[in-house]
Amino acid sequence: MTIFGSQLPRGLGKFVDSAEQIEVVVDMHTRILVEVNWQSDHEAPVLIIIHGLGGDARRSYVLGTADKAWRSGFTVVRMNMRNSGGTEAWTPTLYHAGLTDDLEATVNWLSRVAPGVPLVYCGYSLGGSVTLNALAKWGKRLPEGSAGTVVVSVPMDLHAADVELGRAGINRLYVKYFLRRFQNIWGAKHAVYPDLYPRNGLKEVSTIRDFDEKWTGPNFGYSGADEYYSAAQMVGKLQDVHLRGLVVHAEDDPFVPLTQQAHAALAEHSNLRLLLSEMGGHVGFLGRSPNAEPSGWRDFDRWWAENRVVHAATQFLRMGE
């Protein structure tokens, strides 16, 4: 299944409605929205989930993962990156693959409301890049309670992903999908910050690289797309991650290749384990039937990667006991 498979509805409206919506202050100019499904025991372990590019905390794959984690005993924090979940007016900036401020602010907020609880970090696609960048930044000085991480379909090498997205064929559909999401965000940004985001600002943008070259890069002080990609990509920083984790990827991912350099870095890593599936596309991973493992774990449903997240998260807790 490709990215479109990850968008299939799950019938989790009641789960969404039961969440508490909380504004988290990142800095004097920026706030983000987190949506929390609490356990009755506020000392329960917490799974923080970050969505992918153009998404939000109510994407089907986020909700599917959150529901299974909640049923497994986790309080679940679904984090909207800035500009997501209808929060375009809450910040004058955009977001990018290496911007860790929102996750750091979320963890700091959790340390105040639920100090000392076990934390597992989960990120999908660009959200996975944000997660790994935060872990690399923290290095050995991890937030209290950090137990593990699971990332899915992460663009470890942004330059390689850029090349794949520029290829003809089905990848053009993905580009159009992302650009439509950008246009929606842009319209909302223009309404609040017209000087920063002019009405015709996307007139010459026809690819994701165009957007990053003209807007994302300069928005964060980079000269353009290439400097931004080099600074934000994880392929050269994996050695700085000192938390146990699982990296889930599909060999048939249409636009996020696992490059030889990334594969080698993961193979040599002492904390991160690669789980490479022959099929799964980008964040899709819809199996024929629920998976059962010799350990006794049985998947909740057919959404293979989401179950791997929750299974790994429960294992990380046992390792920390």
165-186 pLDDT, tens digit each: 998 888 888 899 999 999 999 9
79 is a domain residue = yes
Looking at this protein, which amino acid is placed at residue 237? K
Number of domains in the chain: 1
Mean local confidence (pLDDT), 204-221: 96
Q: Looking at the domain assignment, is residue 164 inside a domain?
A: no
Q: Per the structure block, which two tokens stand in for 76? A: 């679940």
Tokens of 62: 């986020």
Within-domain flag for 278: yes
Q: At what angle do helices 304-319 and 60-71 cross, to 10 degrees?
A: 40
CATH assignment at residue 51: 3.40.50.1820
The answer as to whether 209 is a domain residue is no
Name the pLDDT band for 1 (thresholds 50, 70, 90). very low
- Owning domain of residue 300: 3-156+236-319
40 CB contacts (<8 Å, ≥6 apart)?
none
Residue 2: is its pLDDT beyond 50?
A: no
**pLDDT tens, residue by residue, 56-114:** 999 999 999 999 999 999 999 999 999 999 999 999 999 999 999 999 999 999 999 99
> Rounded to whole angstroms, how far apart are CA atoms 140 and 149?
14
Phi, psi torsion values for 96, nearest 5 degrees: -155, 175
Task: Confirm whether 307 is domain-assigned.
Answer: yes
CA distance to 99, 208, 319, per residue, from 42 (Å): 29, 41, 21
Phi and psi for 198 in degrees, rounded to 5?
-65, 155
Single-letter amino acid, residue 221: G
Q: 68 in a domain, yes or no?
A: yes
Q: How confident is the model at residue 12 (pLDDT cuts 50, 70, 90)?
A: confident
Pairing of strands 146-152, 119-124: parallel
Confidence of residue 6 (pLDDT cuts 50, 70, 90): low
**Predicted model pTM:** 0.95
Query: Considering the domain boundaries, does residue 252 fall inside one?
Result: yes
What average pLDDT is seen over the chain?
94
Kindly calculate the radius of gyration of the chain based on its CA atoms and give it in whole angstroms: 19
**Cα–Cα distance, 250 to 203 (Å, whole number):** 34
- Is the predicted pLDDT of residue 52 greater than 50, yes or no? yes
Does some domain include residue 185? no
